[in-house]
Structure formats: C-alpha cells, structure tokens
Amino acid sequence: MEEMREETVDIVKSLVDSMSFTMTISSIIDNGDGTYTLNSCNTYYLQECFKVVYEGVSWTITNVDKNVSITIKPVLGTPPIPTTLELNVYDPYYFHGTVIQTNLELEQISNSSLKTPMIYLLEVLEDTFFNDDNRLEREADLRLFFLTQANFVDWKTQDTYNNAIAPMRSLCYSFIDTLNSSKIISNFAQYRVINHTKFGVYMTDKGYEKRIFDDNLAGVELRITLPVVRVNNCNNFC
C-alpha cells in the first residue's frame, strides 16, 4: 500500500492550528478609570495595543507586565466589571512561502491584527526521507519566524525586546511545547532561537540593512530539524 505523505508545510500548519492557550487570572483590579488589571503568572505572548475578547467584550491591552499582569480597557462603551478568571489568548497566524510570495500575500492584508502575531515558515524546504524500516518518515530542516508588529521609529532596543522579542520568544517556546507533546513528532535533541530586532537582511558589523517584508516586524527565528514519525493511515495524530 502506498504510504501517505503530507506536505511539510501542512504538517507545520496542523501543529500551529493545534495551539490554544488560556490565561489563568489570579485576581482582577478595578483601576477606577475604566481599565482593569488582570494578574496572572503566565501572560503568554500577549502584547500592548492588541485586542482580546473577554467576557464577550472586545478589550484593548494597554500594558503588559510579563508574567505578572495585563491591563485592559474596553474598545467601546462601558462593560460590566469583569469577574471571569480565564482569558482566551488570540491565535497566531500561519504563513509559508518564499520571501517574495509571502510579502505579496501580506500586502493584501491591510489590517495588522489580521496577520500578526505570525508564524512564518520560510521556503524553499528540504526534507530527508527514510526507508520503511525506520520509525521516522522524514527529517525536515525548518526556519520558522515568530513575528509581530514593531515601531522602528520610536522604540529603542530595549523597547523592542520588551514589546516584540519577549512575547515572540514566549510564542516560540509554546510551539516547542506543542512539538514535544505531538504524537507525530519524535524527540529532538536541540534547536536554535535567534533574535531579530528588525526582520531584515543582516550584515555583520552593520546590523539590518533592509527589511524582508514591507511590514515593520520583529521577533525570533527558530531553526530546527523536525523529526516526523511515520504514519500509515489517515488518522489525524496531531
């Protein structure tokens, strides 16, 4: 029987799609000015200026004290005082392709909240396949970028670390946790994470010479050889 082989880009998509996070809130503080501070020991990759839906209401995040609290204000109106001790974290978007192809795709999305935070899989990909007696079907050499909007004009380097690098590292580590718990990914010994304060072409001793995409993006790069387990039926193992 012919062995079913998914495209690597689709395997990564299924892994990204399986990611879902809920922030557990330890306490809620009414700041008296229409904003509320939600205390939590894990703020995941939540960022200032992003919107969350909480208790059926859309809120804007005005401040993030990483793994301590977030502060929110309603987008419209005056909602009831929040009491729920869980908040669903917004999902990342997934893109794959060459730089030129992906940039053209991103240009068609004018609203930044509909494309970031993003997990971008750079192509061209190289897969190494194994014979049938090997538990692994393939090893895929991946370069994944965890990216979000950045303010290149007003932010200093530490601002970029606080507002982009730190949350995108959290997203990257969450993806690693997803790989470790997946039934279709075997154990891997190592991976590399690289900070990009500006997602662009880096020149040694000169810094970033030009942007990769038209959007101003910052975040981290994950380089990993992904060991994919052989699957001999059509069940979804993710």
- Are 27 and 71 within 8 A, CB to CB? no
What pTM, to 2 d.p., does this model score?
0.90
In the predicted model, is pLDDT for residue 200 greater than 60?
no
Q: pLDDT band at 207, cuts 50/70/90? A: very low
Q: pLDDT band at 185, cuts 50/70/90? A: very high
Q: CA quadruple 179, 185, 186, 188: dihedral positive or negative?
A: negative
**Number of C-beta neighbours around residue 106 at 10 A:** 20
**pLDDT at 201 (0 to 100):** 42
Q: How far apart are CA 224 and CA 182, in angstroms?
A: 15
- Are 167 and 117 within 8 A, CB to CB? yes
Instruction: Using alpha carbons, list the distances in angstroms from residue 206 to 91, 151, 158.
Output: 35, 20, 19
SS3 content of the chain, % helix, strand, coil (to 5): 20, 35, 45
| E strand residue ranges, the chain | 22-24, 27-30, 36-39, 51-54, 57-65, 69-74, 86-88, 93-97, 118-122, 126-129, 136-149, 192-196, 200-203, 207-211, 217-229
- Considering the chain, what percentage of its residues have pLDDT values greater than 70? 90
User: Residues 94-103: pLDDT tens digits?
Assistant: 999 998 899 8
**pLDDT at 206 (0 to 100):** 40
Where is 179: in which H helix or E strand? Answer: helix 166-181
Q: How far apart are CA 144 and CA 171, in angstroms?
A: 12
| Domains of the chain, earliest start first | 8-18+92-229 (3.30.70), 22-88 (2.40.30)
